[in-house]
């Protein structure tokens, strides 16, 4: 396929059968340990018997335009590449886990076996070579499509309209505007809550303020010194408490 310049993935969650082919392929190819996934199918059960609904959701990095992980990263390790995909430079990552705790989609994990942050890059290297992501290639029900974002969005809107015509009144496209626009566009047959997706995810006020600060190297050095001072001071207090406890015995 020709190289995609404005990459996006369309995931028709309404047709996902939960086979986990994407999960297995991704774990094998990227050699991910137990408990760490770049992508995973979650089965969401809502309601109470006998009115119970089941939905499958592909959980992975959504590659938000206004990415919380990028805004939260203090070193710039979590950043946007030339294709506007969210990637991580492990050479300057300090494993602070701010990206993990601030992701509204729970799509970032700490890989203890490598000591690095693990997340989906949408197989950025394959896209550079003019190929599609592995998950789109192995999907057994062909509910994952890859291409230019405008085209994926158009197809998603058409599919959502057909679902509404079939009686799925809450059917919609998720990702057109959320977090400034996502590069993973999902077709939902029900409301986002039924897929355990945030209804209106946004950058928090704290992250907006942090993002606006002029984080020059000098400021980062000062912050590092302050953190180091705070660490040694707390250690000194803890050692003192241990001495007091020993003296009381």
- Transcribe 186-199 into DSSP letters: EEESS-GGGGT--S
For the segment 164-203, what is each residue's pLDDT rounded down to a tens digit? 999 999 999 999 999 999 999 999 999 999 999 999 999 8
Say whether pLDDT at 119 is over 60.
Answer: yes
Domain borders along the chain are 7-213, 214-249
Residue keyed to tokens 């076996």? 113
Q: What is the pTM of this model?
A: 0.82
pLDDT at 186: 98
Lowest-confidence pick of 8-17, 106-115, 177-186, 203-212: 203-212
CATH 3.40.640.10 fits 7-213, yes or no: no
Q: Is 231 exposed, middle or buried (0-12, 13-18, 19+ CB in 10 A)?
A: exposed
For the segment 74-87, what is each residue's pLDDT rounded down to a tens digit? 999 999 999 999 99
């Amino acid at each position: 396929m020709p190289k995609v310049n404005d990459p996006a993935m369309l995931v028709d969650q309404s047709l996902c059968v939960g086979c986990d082919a994407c999960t297995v392929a991704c774990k094998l190819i990227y050699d991910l340990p137990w408990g760490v996934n770049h992508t995973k199918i979650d089965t969401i059960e809502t309601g109470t018997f006998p009115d119970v609904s089941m939905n499958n959701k592909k959980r992975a990095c959504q590659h938000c335009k206004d990415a919380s992980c990028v805004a939260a990263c203090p070193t710039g390790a979590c950043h946007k590449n030339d294709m506007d995909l969210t990637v991580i430079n492990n050479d300057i990552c300090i494993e602070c886990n701010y990206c993990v705790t601030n992701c509204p989609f729970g799509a970032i994990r700490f890989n203890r076996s490598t000591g690095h942050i693990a997340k989906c890059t949408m197989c950025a290297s394959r896209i550079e070579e003019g190929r599609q992501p592995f998950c789109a290639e192995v999907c057994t029900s062909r509910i994952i499509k890859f291409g230019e974002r405008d085209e994926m969005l158009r197809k998603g809107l058409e599919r959502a309209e057909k679902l509404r015509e079939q009686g799925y009144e809450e059917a919609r496209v998720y990702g057109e505007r959320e977090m400034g626009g996502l590069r993973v566009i999902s077709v939902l047959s029900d409301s986002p809550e039924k897929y355990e997706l945030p209804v209106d995810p946004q950058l928090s006020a704290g992250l907006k303020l942090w993002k606006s600060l002029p984080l020059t190297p000098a400021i980062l050095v000062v912050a590092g010194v302050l953190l180091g001072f705070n660490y040694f001071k707390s250690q000194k207090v803890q050692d003192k408490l241990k001495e007091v406890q020993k003296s009381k015995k």
